[in-house]
Amino acid sequence: MTYAGRRVLVAGARVAGIASARALLRAGATVTVVDAAAVPALEELAAQGARTAVGTGLDLLAGQDEVVVSPGFAPHHPLAAAAVGKGLDVYSEPELAWRLRGPDAPAWLGITGTNGKTTTTTMLAAILAAAGLRTAALGNVGEPLVEATGYDVLAVELSSFQLYWSRLLAPSAGVLLNLAEDHLEWHGTFEHYTSAKTNIWRAARQGAGTAVGNLDDPLVAALLGQVEGAIGFTLGPPATGVYGVADGMLVDGAGNELVEAAAVRPPGRHNVANALAAAALAGSHGVAPAAVRAGLAGYVPQPHRNAHVDTVDGVAYVDDSKATNPHAAIGSLLAYPRIVWIAGGQLKGVDPDDLVARVADRLAGAVLLGVDRALIGAALTRHAPEVPVVDVSSTDDGAMGEVVRAAARLATAGDTVLLAPAAASKDMFVSFEARGNAFAAAVRALKETS
């Protein structure tokens, strides 16, 4: 698309907004950037030719042709809602990157789902690199897509926010890993959340791409069945054309063996499913089984995803801080036979009851922290009344140390102390990474005193 002379308001001057504004300026647009705070980036962008402002941006909509919002702007955000109400085209940075693509732009292989996105995206990038392709894991991870140059193909992680704020974006192949309630405070309903997620299949629905989906997830399988030429994957023995697991080996749609299921890292059945999803996307792009095998065999997991931190007095300590909702926590909780569970944080409107009911029989204890810990505690009372529970009300820098020491008292040799919070972190920590790092530091301190 041609942006020369178009008037575009960029809402938010953080990573995505800065990159969007710069890309639009390069494309010849007349750019206005607004942020709620007087962040340093506004001065830098003004020096590059953008008009800048501090405030809500509502007074800037008149005369604009389009609005590029940071992905965190929910549909009910006053600026976003006002722009839509005025009939303006509203979208976010990945959509802008798609619209700016030239004739020699790399193919996009898209990944979304409630959980497993980053693991699948980085697995896919490892496979594509093993095939000798210039690639990167981008989108909801890595550098902004508008700045991506010099690649043959991109592994693109896309959140429900980014997909909601898209209109034309259509990866040549896209996978929907799973669906469970999440971000309901943003989307309003699960139906709206699901609708955003299925935008990953826009090209396939237009007859110009491939839809990939998880046949073990009933919701995904039902939606996938409505798309022509779709590719499915399953943790069971697959039918012809389906990726799956046969005799302990991951196999592609033609029955070619890829890698042992037990060799997939991080461990857990959910990560075997992620590996199958990555393999299916790579296969749709013409990558040979040997490269899929090599990429998965050499894959180095991302931090804070079912990562073994240390073993202290016969007890394993595992960091799955990235488990920021109940659906994500299930995978790691089912990967270990007997667990002292560290849980709590921001549940984002999602009920933890089903999760607790599913894992109650493997809990040796639970330590709860964070703003919504009482909701998890109530579910434990209903479904696991015999399980000892420690409630940690502290929110200061020493809280995680208190949590880990309490977990150590509940655990016996052979147990796993698992940080799988089933909730977001920002009530106490700046990010899930900071929460995982605090856990690892507390485990190291425990080991020094044991």
* 30-47 residue pLDDT tens: 999 999 999 999 999 999
Average pLDDT over residues 106-123: 96
Same domain, 86 and 104: no
pLDDT in tens, 325-343: 998 899 889 989 999 999 9
Is there a domain that residue 247 lies in? yes
pLDDT at 184 over 90: no
Comparing C-alpha atoms, which of 403, 436, 423, 18 is closest to residue 266?
A: 436
> Which residue, of 276, 297, 318, is where some domain finishes?
297
- pLDDT for 305: 87
Same domain, 87 and 191: no
Is there a domain that residue 302 lies in? no
Is there a domain that residue 1 lies in? no
Is there a domain that residue 256 lies in? yes
Q: Which carries the bigger pLDDT value, residue 232 or residue 71?
A: 232
Same domain, 321 and 262: no
pLDDT at 151 over 90: yes
Is there a domain that residue 2 lies in? no
Secondary structure of the chain: what % helix, strand, coil (to 5)? 40, 20, 40
pLDDT at 132 over 90: yes
* Percentage of the chain modeled with pLDDT above 70: 100
pLDDT in tens, 153-164: 999 999 999 999
In whole angstroms, how far apart are CA 22 and each of 59, 95, 169, 433?
22, 15, 20, 28
The whole-chain average pLDDT of the chain stands at 96
Is there a domain that residue 318 lies in? yes
> Which residue, of 268, 297, 326, is where some domain finishes?
297
Segments forming the whole domain that contains residue 243: 97-297
Same domain, 170 and 269: yes
Same domain, 420 and 282: no
Same domain, 363 and 436: yes
Number of domains in the chain: 3
CATH of the domain at 359: 3.90.190.20
Same domain, 192 and 312: no
Is there a domain that residue 442 lies in? yes
Same domain, 61 and 126: no
| Confidence tier at 185 by pLDDT (50, 70, 90) | confident
Q: What is the pTM of this model?
A: 0.83
- pLDDT for 242: 98
Q: What are phi and psi of 215, to 5 degrees?
A: -75, -15
Same domain, 46 and 160: no
Same domain, 128 and 244: yes
Q: What is the DSSP letter of 104?
A: T
Q: In whole angstroms, give the CA distance from residue 391 to residue 247.
A: 44
Same domain, 133 and 260: yes
Average pLDDT over residues 130-149: 95
pLDDT at 1 over 90: no
| Confidence tier at 72 by pLDDT (50, 70, 90) | confident
In whole angstroms, how far apart are CA 378 and each of 94, 404, 449?
40, 21, 33
| Confidence tier at 386 by pLDDT (50, 70, 90) | very high
Same domain, 132 and 205: yes
Dihedral in degrees, nearest 10, Cα atoms 73, 74, 76, 78 = -10
